[in-house]
Structure 1
Amino acid sequence: MKETISQFSSMPWYLILGTVSLLLLWGGAQALEWMWFKPRRLDQILRNQGLRGTVYRSFAGDMKDENRLNKEACAKPMPFSHDISARILPLLYGIMKEYGKQSFTWFGQCPRVTITDPELVREVLSDKCGHIEKTKLGQAGRMTAEELANYKKEKWAKERRILNPAFHVENLKSMIPAFYTSCGELVDRWINFVGSNGSFELDVLPELQKLARGIVSEAAFGSSYQEGRRIFDLQAEQGELLVKILDIAHIPFHWYLPTKINKRLKEIGTEIRTLFEVKIAERERAIKNGEATQDNVLSLLLESNMREMVPNRESKSSVGLTTEEVIQKCQMFFAGSENMTVLLTWTLVLLSMHLDWQEKAREEVLSHFGREKPTFDGLNRLKIVNMIIYEVLRLYPPIVTVSRRIYKRTKLGNITYPPGVLLVMPIILIHHDTDIWGPDATEFKPTRFAEGISKATKDSQVAFFPFGWGPHNCIGQNLALLEAKIGLSMILQHFKFELSEKYLHAPYTTTVALRPEHSAPIKFCRI
């Protein structure tokens, strides 16, 4: 070491200066390539094929304008209207009005192309060409394009094979008692709120959040809400912190900056993983000891995974999920409680706005179940309730946009995209598109789903994506819909409800889901 330092110090000063200069020139050239030349090349490729969009001006792209427009759009409540696209995605809404539905903006140095044609959306989300990935690569990001394509196909097949048994219809039936327990506790609690005049007012958002979290804890993990509360609290804090760093999300390697927020996010990630590791270890011990554990998703998942972990005779290698992958699925289940929360919240809000549909749904529920608990088979026969839930998901989808990244030259429709382009599918804009759904696209009209999803649009094209599509669609959607049907049915059996005068219509999107900004106060009347 001393010899190396001595040799370096004995070098002529002009060699040292030359070396440093070359390093600075190389670094400057790389920075210029990243900040200017590559974006300009991508811009030209897209424009040469007829796409239009904003002009690339700086490495921040359109982030500053997007953040400003978001703040302006959500500065005050809006009238009671379901035409919320301009409020939720003001930048994309305005750009598409100006440049067309297939146009582009800049997410930092990456062009972000809007894909709104339902057929192309399905193609992107299904990734038929194998050249499209989620925006976070993780370990796969170090692979070549060909290796990544093969890796993804194998990984998707493996994950679906392991996860599917946990969400099979017969297994979901075994979780219904947990749904009854949580929903029954909510109804009993609300009955105790009833005043001398037979009514009460309640902010349903925190109530339904507690309900959804309790159901996820019990049905998915066989735990009480109190046991899972720490995880929910940590994930909520994680979401709030992620919102705060949106302004620098376009900066490469921003996760590695030694900021206070990044440090806290790493601490949260470590604690969440530790909590899940403990829960997974408990369930694995119970399975090995032969204890009855098939009444929750985690146990079913682990049993399926253990079967896959047995070495294949031909390959002599196990193909199950790693502990880290199981933890990722657990985090997904817990995060899914927010989607359940907002689905039920918006359903109650919309039925409070449209009392005629509330009464139709109540009549259907009472005709099937009376005052008894809803049965699994009976829930599948609820046509009106099903139409209402679909219409709520169309107007107020939990996830308003889905993004993918092109990592290899790819043709979609009549456009060929180079590597590095982001594709954004604005689900809420597609769901509100009058060209797809008709002139009443922003109206609450559950009858559009009377003949099913495929017949709901003008030209019978599938354009309904509240849970995604293809291999990356939400595998827990049946669980969410089952919870929504049971919860709504039991509420309708016991209460009539309408919006409180305190309600302010202000939908806004977080890093997790689309929710009412000023909560959801509703007036209930016992029946």
Structure 2
Amino acid sequence: MKGGHRSFNLSLSISFAVIFLALVSWLLKVLYSLWWKPKSLERYLKTQGIHGPSYKFMYGNTKDIMELRIKARSRPAIGLSHDIRAHVNPFVYQTMINYGKVFLNWLGPTPELVVMDQKLINEILTNNTGDFQKIINITPSLKLLTNGLPHYDGDKWAKHRRILNPAFHIEKLKQMLPAFITCCDELITKWEEMVSRKGSCELDVAPELQTLSGNAISLAAFGSSFKEGRRILELQKEQFKLFMRGLYSGKSIKSRFIPTKESKRMVEIYEEIRTLFREFIEMRKKSFRTGNTNNNDLLGLLLESNLNEELNYSKSGTLTMDDVIEECKAFYSAGQLTTADLLTWTMIVLSMHPNWQERAREEVLQVIGNKKPSFDDLNHLKIVTIIFYEVLRLYPPTSLVRRTWKTTTKLGDFSLPANTQIMIPLVFVHRDTEQIGDDANEFNPERFSEGISRASKDQASYFPFSGGPRVCIGKNFALLEAKIALTNILQHFSFELSPTYTHSPSSLPTLGPQHGAQIILHKL
């Protein structure tokens, strides 16, 4: 009996010892990941002259970043200043003052190198070896919202980019001109009816221009399937609202483990959008087989490019049905926000600077008159073009660019450990007085009068659509649509800021006006 007790006690002791050792091992791994490793990296980078706020256990600098951002969002920017750095990213603004153009930040236990040095930026953006890759961090809820080319890297990105490129060639974009004009006519007619009642009208142009951009994408992407395209646009708007609601409430993390009402609805929308896209694609494929198809819209051009890829290479090098669906979804979500934000900020800025609004209108009336613009007409709009360049400099669609690398990598004179992240804050780089000039925080389109390369000392000082191999594939599409829209607006209206407008740029998800864009329209 006693022997049995001893054996039981021995087994119990061994079990407790095993559990204790496992617990100690786990705690040591946690301490290594959340304290020893980050502090070692911090000391290593300091020896190379890279400094920054000290790492804080587990959270890094994320609490400070969020607290400063919440405070900034709770108050408007000062007056109508174009120096929005402290408002859009107060943490980077304060840290830059203390540590300069290159400093270390901590996103939890992950080191992030914030880079505003022109030589280093040029090295990052123009790298063709694959050392600096885009950060691909898609949560389950974000994957339901968007995927496609912007979220790919390596060989997959290269294949998709190669197949998509022909669809965005400038000669192909010319074919979409009638679609853009049709959507602009619809907007102008609506605004004229609103203005005609009193001679002027105040409205928030931000949602109006989002609708315009969404309609243009629907028509340019699907042609005759315009109504169905609008349905997808409505679903994606609902999807985005649900995503943002979950992000701010913290439900996006919980939904990974426990389904919520919002996460279930997001899945339903995801499936409905995919079904609609699949039907469009199957219909268009049938048209291809019979030779009865019109390739003037994006979907037709994409399928044509994919077919050519299959003929010239192999079926394994083409896009699958799922690939095509995700690319169409990405085009919808990214294209709508980018163009809408550009047009919104252009109307706001031209309201702040009426002399430039008048110069742009005079050019439009001289080059185009009151007729519909042709592609060649748009190319002759020099003042309108430099206005867009300057608006993109001050208010780029995305306020930052991120990259990472998998192995120890050289950047300038620095030797950087694997899995370090890089963040390039465009709002800051575009306002570098050493590169742009003393008037870097002022609206001065003349700086682009001799081209983008002459607007700053180093061309790496200006990249509103990113740069290098990963420059935005939809750049020309967005600028063409924006030119047509602004041309039509200038032909029919003058506009000014409403007294109710609050200048408060916000960077989630793209750089837009936090409280809307209240503009007073006047019929010409």
Of the structure 1 ranges 356-365 and 186-195, higher mean CA displacement relative to structure 2 is found in 186-195
Residue in structure 2 matched with residue 280 of structure 1 by the alignment: 281
Preserved contact between residue 59 and residue 109 of structure 1 (Cα < 8 Å): yes
Residue in structure 2 matched with residue 6 of structure 1 by the alignment: none
State the one-letter code of the partner of 2:167.
Answer: A
Residue in structure 1 matched with residue 433 of structure 2 by the alignment: 434
1:198: how far off?
2.5
Residue in structure 2 matched with residue 490 of structure 1 by the alignment: 488
Preserved contact between residue 430 and residue 461 of structure 2 (Cα < 8 Å): yes
Residue in structure 2 matched with residue 520 of structure 1 by the alignment: 517
1:26: how far off?
3.1
SS at match of 1:444: coil
1:302: how far off?
1.4
Give a deviation string over 1:436-467, Cα, whole Å, max 9, x none.
1111001010000000100001x253421111
| Distance change in 2, residues 1:224/1:339 (3 Å) | farther
Could you tell me how far apart the structure 2 residues matched to 1:43 and 1:259 are? 39
State the one-letter code of the partner of 2:172.
Answer: N
Residue in structure 1 matched with residue 4 of structure 2 by the alignment: none
Residue in structure 2 matched with residue 103 of structure 1 by the alignment: 103
| Distance change in 2, residues 1:411/1:277 (3 Å) | same
| Distance change in 2, residues 1:40/1:246 (3 Å) | farther
1:15: how far off?
4.3
Could you tell me how far apart the structure 2 residues matched to 1:168 and 1:60 are? 45
Residue in structure 2 matched with residue 31 of structure 1 by the alignment: 30
Map residues 178-217 of structure 1 onto 2, 5 A cutoff: 178-195=179-196, 197-217=198-218
Could you tell me how far apart the structure 2 residues matched to 1:198 and 1:138 are? 48
State the one-letter code of the partner of 1:325.
Answer: D
State the one-letter code of the partner of 1:109.
Answer: P
Residue in structure 2 matched with residue 445 of structure 1 by the alignment: 444
State the one-letter code of the partner of 1:403.
Answer: R
Picking from 475, 478, 492, the partner of 2:476 is 478
Could you tell me how far apart the structure 1 residues matched to 2:44 and 2:87 are? 31
Could you tell me how far apart the structure 2 residues matched to 1:13 and 1:273 are? 56
1:45: how far off?
1.8
Give a deviation string over 1:51-85, Cα, whole Å, max 9, x none.
11111112122111111111111212221111101
Residue in structure 2 matched with residue 113 of structure 1 by the alignment: 113
SS at match of 1:522: strand
| Distance change in 2, residues 1:425/1:356 (3 Å) | same
SS at match of 2:316: coil
Could you tell me how far apart the structure 2 residues matched to 1:41 and 1:258 are? 37
Residue in structure 2 matched with residue 219 of structure 1 by the alignment: 220
Could you tell me how far apart the structure 1 residues matched to 2:181 and 2:511 are? 26
Residue in structure 2 matched with residue 47 of structure 1 by the alignment: 46
Preserved contact between residue 349 and residue 391 of structure 2 (Cα < 8 Å): yes
Could you tell me how far apart the structure 1 residues matched to 2:137 and 2:492 are? 48
| Distance change in 2, residues 1:526/1:138 (3 Å) | closer
Give a deviation string over 1:378-422, Cα, whole Å, max 9, x none.
101110000000000000001001111221111111111101211
Residue in structure 2 matched with residue 379 of structure 1 by the alignment: 378
Of the structure 1 ranges 477-486 and 195-204, higher mean CA displacement relative to structure 2 is found in 195-204
Give a deviation string over 1:167-218, Cα, whole Å, max 9, x none.
1111111110101100011111111112355322222111111100000111
State the one-letter code of the partner of 1:386.
Answer: T
State the one-letter code of the partner of 1:199.
Answer: S
| Distance change in 2, residues 1:484/1:317 (3 Å) | closer
Of the structure 1 ranges 238-247 and 354-363, higher mean CA displacement relative to structure 2 is found in 238-247
SS at match of 1:193: helix
| Distance change in 2, residues 1:280/1:396 (3 Å) | same
Picking from 500, 503, 506, the partner of 2:501 is 503
SS at match of 2:201: strand
Of the structure 1 ranges 109-118 and 341-350, higher mean CA displacement relative to structure 2 is found in 109-118
Could you tell me how far apart the structure 1 residues matched to 2:59 and 2:265 are? 25
Preserved contact between residue 217 and residue 223 of structure 1 (Cα < 8 Å): no
1:39: how far off?
1.2
Residue in structure 1 matched with residue 176 of structure 2 by the alignment: 175
Map residues 284-303 of structure 1 onto 2, 5 A cutoff: 284-303=285-304
1:137: how far off?
6.0
Preserved contact between residue 156 and residue 471 of structure 1 (Cα < 8 Å): no
Residue in structure 1 matched with residue 320 of structure 2 by the alignment: 322
State the one-letter code of the partner of 2:309.
Answer: E
Could you tell me how far apart the structure 2 residues matched to 1:52 and 1:268 are? 45
Preserved contact between residue 219 and residue 229 of structure 2 (Cα < 8 Å): no
| Distance change in 2, residues 1:236/1:56 (3 Å) | farther
| Distance change in 2, residues 1:138/1:522 (3 Å) | closer
State the one-letter code of the partner of 1:355.
Answer: P
1:309: how far off?
2.7
| Distance change in 2, residues 1:13/1:269 (3 Å) | farther
| Distance change in 2, residues 1:60/1:386 (3 Å) | same
| Distance change in 2, residues 1:50/1:460 (3 Å) | closer
C-alpha RMSD of the superposition? 2.6
Of the structure 1 ranges 44-53 and 229-238, higher mean CA displacement relative to structure 2 is found in 229-238
State the one-letter code of the partner of 1:510.
Answer: L
SS at match of 2:196: coil
Residue in structure 1 matched with residue 229 of structure 2 by the alignment: 228
SS at match of 1:309: helix
Preserved contact between residue 500 and residue 522 of structure 1 (Cα < 8 Å): yes
Normalising by structure 1, we get a TM-score of: 0.88
| Distance change in 2, residues 1:412/1:460 (3 Å) | closer
* Aligned-pair identity (%): 44
Gaps of 5+ in 1: 1-8, 140-150
Could you tell me how far apart the structure 2 residues matched to 1:204 and 1:300 are? 32
Could you tell me how far apart the structure 2 residues matched to 1:266 and 1:33 are? 38
| 1:82 and 2:70 are equivalent in the alignment | no
Gaps of 5+ in 2: 1-7, 140-151
Residue in structure 1 matched with residue 5 of structure 2 by the alignment: none
| Distance change in 2, residues 1:444/1:212 (3 Å) | same
Preserved contact between residue 178 and residue 219 of structure 1 (Cα < 8 Å): yes
| Distance change in 2, residues 1:42/1:280 (3 Å) | farther
Preserved contact between residue 311 and residue 317 of structure 1 (Cα < 8 Å): no
Of the structure 1 ranges 516-525 and 269-278, higher mean CA displacement relative to structure 2 is found in 269-278
| Distance change in 2, residues 1:262/1:34 (3 Å) | farther
Residue in structure 1 matched with residue 124 of structure 2 by the alignment: 124
State the one-letter code of the partner of 2:492.
Answer: H
Could you tell me how far apart the structure 1 residues matched to 2:343 and 2:258 are? 39
